[in-house]
Amino acid sequence: MDLLKTRIELYDELLKAARGEILIDVIIESGNVLNVLTGEIQKGNIGIHKGFIVSLFSKNIDAQQTINAARKTVIPSFIDPHIHIESSMILPTAYAEVVALNGTGTIFADPHEIVNVMGIEGFKLMINNSKNLPTRIFFDVPTCVPAKRAAESSGADIRANEIIEMINQGGKKLGELMSVDEIISGDPIMSDIIKTGWKECIPRDAHFHWLLPNLAQAFTTLSLGAKLKLYSGFIGGRFLRINRLYDLSANVLVNTLRNLDNRALDTYLVALGLTADHENYGPELQIKLDHGMRLILSSHIFSFPEMVPLLLRTVQRQRYKDTIGMCTDDLWPDELIKEGGMLGFVKTVIRHGLDPVDVIRFATLNNAQRLAQAGIIEANLIGSIVPGQIADIIILDGSLKKVNIDTVIHEGQIVAKNGKLLRYSPSPEVPSPALETVKVPEISEKIFQIPRPSTIKDSTVMTRVLSLPKPPALPFPEIIKEEIPTDGSILDTEGYTAITVLNRYKDRKQPPSRGLIRGYPINDGALASTVAHDSHNFTVLGSNVSNMIIVAKKVIEMNGGLAASQNGKILANIALPVGGLMSTASLKELCQSAERFRNALDKLGLDPSNPIMPFALFSLPAVPGAKVTDLGIWDDRQKKLVPIFVEDKNREKV
């Protein structure tokens, strides 16, 4: 349904329905209706006609269909304002079925991943697979393709002209603007893209991660007294289970962060204007609120579990919570099935002690009002149960705190009941170019070996190595310099994890980039993936060359995906032939493959709870830390590419 067009076309008929002059389509009878504007729950009826709410708490309403909601709670359907469907490895058709079943009525998807692979054709692929679904999907216009031009390349180079083209195809807002350095410095390409968003009057979504390093710095600069308060709050909150004790820790960090130079945040906000940021992991979110930035709690907040209590306490302490929303951002297929999208995140946050009404507001009204205020007209018609709005409704069985779904209504029609989907998506459509995106050189041991520079004859070579700090430090790799022994014409990399990144878009012409990692051991095995945020170049990590060859060949054989090996044998693989990111296989098959891949990570000595971490951690330059990209080693502190060998002044000689 085109919300605005339909609303206008039905204007006169909806008025008649509201006045009680005609028989309406549906009445939801005797439900306990949550008013997300006031936080109150009031018992009464809801009248629906032609997909819109036309009456509230009225009696003696005649309707063609009656839905009995006695002893049930009625809430608005969830709105997910920021997701990457590609992270779930499925197309919008399959994604919509899962989240519709679990109460999500509206999605704002950022197809940043597939556009990095295919450019505007990737955007069209997602748009073409988002029609006649059991949930509503709007699309962001990807803005940072590639995310950091000085550090990496991808399958496209999106500029202002392409932004306009995607807006004309239906893009509703500028997707997350993660090229923070470039935005703050006034880079002409990013400035033109943001100006285009202003000119076209569409919202501009944030991705401001700069405060994360500041948060890490705050830990190291505390006085002894401040450290005592910090750890007293952590220990007391965790072991005494008194959440208010976490306030001690949060206050220490917030006060420290407030005393740092936050002109970067000011500059970023001057560029974007009214915006919301989903990159929030701890009490640094208070600084963003101080400076007028709206916030979106993302399911990624649980990536740093030790920070979750501080983040949630900071949220609870806000006098006004209207500026806080929620989103899922990235979910693997098995997480999507288990959690159901927004539903699972809502339940989890409630379990962590936030008021259920506040959480429901975050996931509905707050998301809608922020988007409406920023200029998305359709957002005025979603997010609450009031006359005149679209009838996207969830009927809950039991208390609000448990959020157990009985019925899901989308645009006035029941799409799910008792855990069963009643309306399905059409079959996906995939153009042939989307199945041909892995273009890398023939795999041989030379690709993964690091040759000794011809100018150096010593038995060791001073080499730049990515070192992963130990917890509780945040996992941002740093460059260290170490003497690496040679084995003939190549480096002897025993004791290190090797990483090779191959550009997969330039018809095999670009040479591989190589690096070494300390502090991230892989137990006699290797990993390979075409899923490597955000440029999604072909990335291979391993403890030895033989295993790296095995996984690389497996991924190429599948035309994209992920593979893990150990002791010369494939442990698990996930075939993702659509752009090297997605599949048309059943979600059940993908979940089984994802579970096997997690188990493989566990065998390799890695964290199975975050399976994409090995690739993003060491190859995503848009987030803090040193990386290896398809162009070389990115030094985040110097903001430039550096050669792998310290002695080499000219990268081309490496």
pLDDT digits over 260-302, tens only? 889 999 999 999 999 999 999 888 899 999 999 999 999 988 8
Picking from 472, 445, 497, the residue whose alpha carbon sits closest to that of residue 606 is 497
3-state secondary structure of 91: coil
Q: Which helix (H) or strand (E) holds 573?
A: strand 569-575
pLDDT for the residue numbered 651 = 38
- Altogether, the residues listed in the chain come to a count of 654
The fraction of the chain above a pLDDT of 90, given in percent, is: 82
Burial of 424 (0-12, 13-18, 19+ CB in 10 A): middle
Among residues 622, 646, 619, 647, the alpha carbon closest in space to that of 631 is found at 619
Among the listed ranges 190-199, 322-331, 508-517, 645-654, which one has the minimum average pLDDT value? 645-654
Could you report the per-residue pLDDT of 539-554, keeping only the tens digit for each? 999 999 999 999 999 9
Beta bridge partners of 106: 79, 136
From residue 390, alpha-carbon distances to 267, 385, 413, 462 in Å are: 38, 8, 11, 64
pLDDT in tens, 10-67: 999 999 999 999 999 999 999 999 999 999 999 999 999 999 999 999 998 999 999 9
Query: Are the C-beta atoms of residues 368 and 107 closer than 8 Å to each other?
Result: no
Residue 650 confidence (pLDDT): 44
Handedness of CA 417, 418, 422, 428 (dihedral sign): positive
Name the more confident of 454 and 118: 118
As given in the structure block, the two tokens for residue 38 are 């006031």
* pLDDT computed for residue 623 by the predictor: 85
CA dist 196 → 189, 297, 381 (Å) = 11, 27, 26
> Using CA atoms, how far apart are residues 568 and 627, in angstroms rounded to an integer?
27
**pLDDT digits 0-9 by tens, 601-611:** 999 999 999 89
In the prediction, which pLDDT does 649 show?
Answer: 45
The residue extents of the domains of the chain are 210-293+301-320, 434-653
Of the candidates 536, 653, 526, the one whose C-alpha atom is nearest the C-alpha of residue 600 is 526
Q: What is the pTM of this model?
A: 0.95
- Checking if the pLDDT of 304 tops 80, the result is no
Is residue 465 over pLDDT 90? Answer: yes
Task: Return the pLDDT at 472.
Answer: 66
pLDDT 10s digits, 392-407: 999 999 889 999 999 9
**Whole-number mean pLDDT of the chain?**
94
126-148 pLDDT, tens digit per residue, is 999 999 999 999 999 999 999 99
